[in-house]
Structure 1
Amino acid sequence: MIQKSSLLYFSILFLFPFFLFSQVTSNIDIISKRLQKKAIEYQSETNFVKSQYFFLKKDWDSTLIYTTKQLSTNSNREIADYCHFFRGRIFHNKNLYKEAKEELLLISKAFEFSTFTTINLGTTSVELRDFKTAIVYYKKALQSPEIKNQPYSFAKIHEGLGNCYLFLEQYDKAEEHLLINLRSKKNDQVHLYDAYNSLANLYYEQDKNVKALYFFEKAYFLSKEIKDVQIKNLASFNLAVYEENRGDYKKALIYRKEAEQWNDSLNNQNKIWAVADFEKKFAVAQKQKEIKVLEVENQLKNTQRNWLFFSAIILLILIVIGAYLYAQKTKNAKTILRQKNKLDELNTTKDQLFSIVSHDLRSSVNALKTSNSKLSATLETKNYEELNQLIIQNSSIANGAYSLLDNLLHWAMLQTKQLYFHKESVHLHSIVQQIEYNYKPLLLDKSISFENSVAKNCFIFVDLDSLKIVLRNLLDNAIKFSNKNGTIHFYTIENHTNFCQLVAEDTGIGMHQNTIDELLQENELLAKKNNSEIIGTGLGMQLCKQMIQKNGGSLSIESELNKGTKIMLSLPKTAQNG
């Protein structure tokens, strides 16, 4: 009888969690589409919206923070289920399987993705080596009506069941599920290899050597078509161990040599990188050595040349030094005067800017303080309708203060030349669509209709981040100065030039021509708006103007009081878009 090999058995243990877990991650695409709809449905739940956003971005730490906040402030069962689902997936990714299972068990049976949750629980139990519990969860998932409409998940669950039974030495049940798994994987080479390997090990554990050899060879020949070197190495290694255990050392040697070759190819890649790194360091050292030799040679030549002409040029040097010192003194005086004037101008601008920014922030904080006082009083009266209005008002005030600080940060970075610009080809319609999505809650709050009529064939060559800052400022201003039930329209005008003309038009309160002239004036940081004596910095528009200029474009404004405003951006097209 062939002796069992611990190394051969390890091949299942190594591959099993990886392939089993992949079937859960494949379902995230299905869940993500649903999450986007839920974010719109529960847009007032800021922490939930942020947690789903960071979850889809795979920013696990931010997701954990916002789900914690959401769970501590909200009693909505559906939102809580989603939050526990996020946390369970994140803890699994962080290899905290016990914590992952605790979160998944908090999800209610009414959760629309309860089948996925059950599969997650099975996978987590496998990672905890609790195979009996994993079997319970997988069988429960198989009873779900929708599982047969998901062939991949269906096959992987049977693979999970088969391997669990194999670990528990219940070979008949293991064979039943692994054969179902095999029949479901005809078009997937990697997972078909995994199915062959699992069956080979099953039969090998039972000393059914003919069947074991058949599937080991099937896995081996299939590995020839797979690019993964690790799989090729494992397939050759399995056959080498198998042949050694049954005494055919000639075949075992052939397979072991092949396995060593694949293993060497993995190691050689690391060696090549190490050699290349060493050669690079050696070349740099040689170059530095050559530079030092040249420096020494140059110093010797300069010394030899200088002593020959030293006595002749002393007088000339003194004259040149005197002239230089006089010129330098004059130059320094002019430079100091110019810098003083510039510094005075910057200080004046800084003082004006900080004065008005602090005024706006003070107004925002004072309004927030007053609103919070009302909020406390409303909580005592339990007037939920007024409470909702106050919360919305608080959010609007906070958003305004945040927008002001964000503009101030980007303006300061522009002035100090810390903002990096990287131009690339950008699809303008898609960017406008993204900005609309970001401001959807504000648009809905004021019942403002937004229309994106930007040409879908318009590609512009700009820095993407600065373009988003410009469009966010334009849309934010349009919402801020539009009345309820107003309209905002973004569209392009074809002018058959190398520039794309983007128009942001609203039906808001408009502004005087004097205000427009002030906003368009170069280096003008302050602008007065006549509505309700509101004083703004005009910083957002100045930021837009400077960023448009940095991108090689231009900005113009048309407006009429109580009839709305048009802001026209001229941006360079991508070359092939002509």
Structure 2
Amino acid sequence: MQSKLKFVGLVVIVLFLFKTASAQQKVIDSIQQLLNKEKSDTQRINLILQLANIHRFSNTDTSNMLAASALLQSKKINFKKGEGFALHTLGIIQEFQGNYDSALHLYQQALQIFEKAKLKKGNASALLSIGGYYYYQSDFIKGADYMLQSLRIYEAIKDKEGQGAALNNLGSLYMDKKDYPNALQYFKKALAIKQLLNQGRNLASTMNNIGNVFYDTKKMDSALFWYQQSLANAQQFENKRGIASASSNIGNIYFDKEQYTAAVTQYEVALQIDRDRNDQEGIAVNLINIAHASVKLKQFDKSIPLLKEGLAMVREIDYKFHEQNALKYLAEAYAGKGDNTNAYNYLLQYINVHDSVYTQESNQRVAEMQTLYETEKKDKEILVLNKEKEVQRKTNIFLIVLATLILLLGLILWNRYRFKQKTNRLLAEKNSELQKLNATKDKLFAIVAHDLKNPLSAFRSITQNLSDNKLQISKEEIDFFIGRLNQSANQLYDLLQNLLNWAISQIGKLPFVPEKISLADLANDNTRLFENNLLQKKQQVTVNIPETLFVWADKSMIKTVVRNLLSNAVKFTPEGGQIELCAGEENGEAVFTIADSGIGIEPADLNKLFKVEEDVTNVGQSSEKGTGLGLILCKELIEKNKGRIRAESTAGQGSRFIFALPLADN
């Protein structure tokens, strides 16, 4: 069966849609007059893009030239809106011409510009076009995702025009999934919006798609009505692509009614327009359709070169659906000529292409077509063999049928086994994700129950003492209480800072700005932050880092890592202890080490560090224990900077925390 031409992905948002039903040339002349008078650079670019979007329906070369000019001028004046819409229009033209990969690249460039410039309407239009690309590649899940993202943005900004285009494309996607009630619902909503906004130029595509729904559901009279409505609208607005699409689909109606000559006439109208527009897909599809009708008319010599030309084109644009049709019709044409060798070769090619899209169905068809070939071969042998061979022939047929049934049964069992395996893997993945979520939840509760409790209890105790004994407290006691309050406040601040950074990291919103960083400066800055703590505990810190050692990383993140590791070293090192910060270059990386002479960590506890699912509140012998959130945050920040972190320790002999980062020169 011939392919129906559909407006999917190609029904994108035009920058400036026109509210009148004037003829195309009148609109072009009007815009040209405005362009000649306009002095503002940005407004001139907008007008050029309007012209480009009008011409893309009738003259893609002119449209391409105008859009390229708008892109160049936008870049010169740093006009991001114009640059984004120019790239988007160039992508639409590439899609019209069947260059889908080039179109996707241009859409993605436009999307990046729209997102950075926070242009929601442009963002939605690019998402809709990307969804159309994935639809054409038969990736319906990705296609639907991008289209729904686009529709949500259009609804949020109350853009009715955009909603109409998105609804139209979603309808096409549902139609390909054979969900015809939903498809028709989306198409009619899109048509109502376009009629409400008087979008005469864009009605043809939606009318065409409504006709496709009725065609697929075998309601031929309704399908013909909507195709004719689409054709009339496209002719009114000189929409050549719309004329080609409607003509081709009307040809399909005639084909199904076995009026093959009338079908060829319609296909040839569409083919001529597509050649004028250099629409590679349209040319290929109509070549294949004309050839198919010619096969039905037994014009095999006419059909074969047309099919080969169409086949070469669809292979070039990698359109598997049309490729398999061309191969199938070539097999029919050669079979009609009695050339069974070529017929069989093309039949095998058809099956291989079909197999790449529909694996299970393809395996079944391989067996069926092999059976068909063997049966035809036996039929020819019967003409020359005597009656004694009849029993043997029937036996062979029986064995072939039996083998086919066994193969089908094996395929069914294999597919059930594969489905079960896939389901089990999915369940295992979900269970793993659930365990991680539970560990994260437990970690948060542990922080609230452990680290928040101590400083807040200290606050409460001190303020209670001050309140109860405010008249009897001496200056020395006040100084003592103030020191305790300051210590508790610092502990609470550090905890909340780590908790905030970790939470931001979990949701992927932590800004990442790598730059060239001096590790020596970073170590000295962090050491100064702990001067009071070091003096209070009479600890000595040694910094041994070359001034010439630089890394490429986010300064804020690495500063947080060093601060956390140094805080732990001060916390778990007794009075009078030693702390050393050193760094050097090893194997093309910068390796930073913080070593202390503290209490150390047991080997069993060492493996629990850096893991969110582990409980480390009992690790170590110090009275200043923690939940381990700081180390978890350190690991995430180091890995985000393409580094590694590890710990080495022996109980009673201190600990060494070591991380490696890329050198700035690398």
TM over 0.5, yes or no? no
What is the TM-score of this pair, normalised by structure 2? 0.39
What is the TM-score of this pair, normalised by structure 1? 0.44
